Copies of this chain bind each other. A is one copy, B any other.
Amino acid sequence: MRQTLRSVIPAGEIEARLERFQAALTEDALDGALVVQETDLVYLAGTGQSAHLVVPAQGEAALFVRKTLERAREESPLARVEPLRSLKHLPAALASCGLEGGRIGLELDVLPAAAYLGYARRLDGFELDDCSAALRRVRAVKSGWELRQVERAAEMLSHVHEWMARHARVGMTELELAAEIERELRVAGHQGPIRFRAFNNELFYGSVLAGPSGAVPGSTETPIVGPGPNVAVSKGASHRRIERGEPILVDLAGAWEGYLADQTRTFSLGPLPRRLLDAYEAAREILHRVADDAMPGVTGAALYERALELAGDLEGFMGAGDERVSFVGHGFGLEIDELPLLAKGWDEPLEAGMVFALEPKFVFPGVGAVGIENSYLVTGDGAERLTSAPEDLLEL
């Protein structure tokens, strides 16, 4: 456990991130960006305080803070961290960074429409465009410092077999089991909130799904969703009692200093039917062989196609029937849904420093789901595993 109360993101990190973001803005023909989403502010300015970060494509970025200036100054290494008392001073703030017109990028994928329309009224003379693609490209490639946080998040997940042995019992509900595992994670230092960038998505630690629950599809583009506790939170663990001889899928996100890691393991109380064991072994085989192919230059689409080819005509791969999703993995970092995607049509090549979660899973309606997921780092010539829990399906 960390003993210090507060650590900040090193100045060199922020400097390098801003430099890469400025290059990406130039690539996307943007003259600058106005960044306001909390997680993006943490990434680019080192603080999640309420603020506007102005990043000109060339020149010095500056942070204009609404609340609190003191915390923003403590946390951010930027030289210019200044108060912004009212949005009417925003044009002057932009001008002070050399931006007096031109194409300005906003985070259109997450910025609420009302806020966007408000900026459009205030920033007369600017052309407003989207900087989220540029930002997401930059964030996809992790630094050494970021990787050390991801490794701590991954390490948090390495004890899941002990936790399951300690807590999982026939007759407890999925939510009761989730309560125990979530407590273990929290005691291990888990930060709590997990950020999901996509609209209408959320992740609460992950999901603990037993038997048929593992095969309940839902609103999101993921192979496993689950019933959830109620119609308002219609994903994840439910009030259903765990029975003997059914698969228990435990998909968890570790979280340390804002950074995530993603891992799934499969368990059971008592023996599983042969076809589920076979499907688990197939998932594990797909995991290893796709991971073996991952290296700089290979596209996410190629890895997805490789997974499909390895799964062949096996039943239930990445969802049953019409519910099959067209992906097998995803990037992560400060958010659980970062780039790259290992998905149909994702033709961007992997680069060294990217991290991704690879999650081959098989779904059997009415019976359950089995599968495995590891997080990986793309190295110079391959992919290095980051999550280290034992890979065997554990029968308790």
CB neighbours (8 Å) of A228 from chain B are: 191
Query: What is the CB-to-nearest-CB distance from A170 to chain B, in angstroms, rounded to a whole number?
Result: 16
CB neighbours (8 Å) of A1 from chain B are: 173, 239
The docked-state distance in angstroms from the alpha carbon of A189 to that of B175 is 8
CB neighbours (8 Å) of A70 from chain B are: 217
A258 in contact with B240 given A112-B113, A178-B186, A217-B68 (CB within 8 Å)? no
Find residues 319-343 in chain A having any chain B CB closer than 8 Å to their own CB. Answer: 323, 334
A217's contact among B71, B109, B236, B239, by CB below 8 Å, is which?
B71
A229 within 8 A of B: yes
A158 within 8 A of B: no
A236's contact among B37, B38, B108, B192, by CB below 8 Å, is which?
B192
B176 lies within 8 A of A187 (CB): yes
A227 in contact with B192 given A218-B71, A323-B68 (CB within 8 Å)? no
Find residues 1-20 in chain A having any chain B CB closer than 8 Å to their own CB. Answer: 1-9
- Per DSSP, chain A at the interface is loop
Q: Which of A198-206, A288-296, A356-364 contacts B (4 or more CB under 8 A)?
A: A198-206
A187's contact among B37, B114, B179, B221, by CB below 8 Å, is which?
B179
For this complex, into which size category does the number of interface residues on chain A fall? Answer: 35 or more
A108's contact among B71, B117, B334, by CB below 8 Å, is which?
B117
CB neighbours (8 Å) of A36 from chain B are: 200
A183 within 8 A of B: yes
A110's contact among B3, B47, B112, B238, by CB below 8 Å, is which?
B112
B229 lies within 8 A of A192 (CB): yes
A257's contact among B42, B221, B227, B230, by CB below 8 Å, is which?
B230
Chain A positions within 8 Å of B, measured between CB atoms, are 1-9, 36-39, 42, 46-50, 66-68, 70-71, 75, 106, 108-117, 130, 132, 173, 175-176, 178-180, 182-183, 186-187, 189, 191-193, 199-200, 202, 204-205, 216-221, 227-234, 236, 238-240, 256-259, 323, 334
